[in-house]
Amino acid sequence: MPETTPRFDLIELLFFAYRDFTDDPDVLLNELGYGRAHHRVLHFVHRNPGIRVSDLLGILKITKQSLGRVLKQLVDEGYIEQQHGPLDRRERLLFTTDKGRLLAQQLSQLQTKRINKTIELMPPGSDEIVRQFLYLMIDENDRNDVVRLISQSTTKE
């Protein structure tokens, strides 16, 4: 006798929705020999031009060694550039190149198309409800960071 009735509907909808949501970019990435790890790195660099390596590690919650592997590939193949920090030369600030920006845009466009097709079929104001739901599903401690990330990002389109 469980204390709470399980929400199998939402649990399973989240599983399948997220699977298909990430599948669109995966197809394109695989053609380039990249995986989801490259996508995440490229995405957050694109969204936070000049981000420090250690801050990127904090967002992705992976180790320096894991990041290093995919970041090196993206730099070697001209998707991401590194610059010394102007105030602290130990820092290697990360920027997308034109090539990287283009790929990041293509990838987010695939995901945006799926989102827009969905929202169009729903009553007005639904996107605000969905945003609120997803926001509240995030760990309380991390919510402020996420809001800052989303609103303060300086992506140029």
Partner DNA sequence: AAAATACGTCAGCTATGTTGACTTATATTG
Partner DNA sequence: CAATATAAGTCAACATAGCTGACGTATTTT
Residues near DNA, by CB under 7 A? 33-38, 40, 52-55, 61-66, 68-72, 82, 84-85, 87-93
Contacts of 113 (CB under 8 A, 6+ apart): 24
CB of 37 to DNA, least distance (A): 3
Question: Which residue has tokens 């060694």?
Answer: 65
Binding segment for a second copy (CB under 8 A), chosen from 27-35, 50-58, 67-75, 130-138, is 130-138
Q: Measured at the alpha carbon of residue 123, what is the angle toward residues 117 and 129, in degrees to the nearest 5?
A: 90
Q: Indicate the helix (H) or strand (E) that contains 38.
A: helix 36-47
For residues 18 and 73, the answer to whether their CB atoms sit within 8 Å is: no
Partner from a second copy, DNA, none contacting 17, C-beta within 5 to 8 A by type: a second copy
Binding segment for a second copy (CB under 8 A), chosen from 26-34, 67-75, 82-90, 146-154, is 146-154
For residues 71 and 78, the answer to whether their CB atoms sit within 8 Å is: no
Partner from a second copy, DNA, none contacting 98, C-beta within 5 to 8 A by type: none
Contacts of a second copy in 33-92 (CB under 8 A): 40, 47, 61
